[in-house]
C-alpha cells in the first residue's frame, strides 16, 4: 500500500475532512469517521496513512 500524508482541515461531529498534502494534484478532500483516526486529532493535525491505518506525524 502507498503511504499518504494528510492534514485535518475540518472536524464535523463524528467525521473529519482530510486533505492530501504529499501530491501536487488537486485532489478532493477525504471524509472519514473519527473512530478510524488517532485520538487527539484537531483541525491542523498532520496524519500519515499506511495500510489503512492513520498516525499523527
- 31: domain CATH number is 2.40.50
pLDDT in tens, 4-56: 999 999 999 999 999 999 988 888 999 999 999 999 999 999 999 999 899 99
Domain count, the chain: 1
The pTM of the full predicted model, rounded to 2 decimals, is 0.89
Cell readout for 35 is: 473512530
Segments forming the whole domain that contains residue 51? 4-56
Buried b (16+ CB within 10 A) or exposed e, 3-37: ebebebeeeeeeebbbebeeeeeeeeeeebeeeeb
Amino acid at each position: 500500500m502507498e503511504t499518504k500524508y494528510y492534514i485535518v482541515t475540518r472536524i464535523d461531529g463524528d467525521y473529519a475532512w482530510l486533505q492530501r498534502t504529499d501530491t501536487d494534484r488537486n485532489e478532493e478532500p477525504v471524509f472519514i469517521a473519527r473512530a478510524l483516526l488517532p485520538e487527539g486529532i484537531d483541525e491542523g493535525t498532520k496524519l500519515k496513512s499506511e495500510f489503512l491505518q492513520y498516525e499523527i506525524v
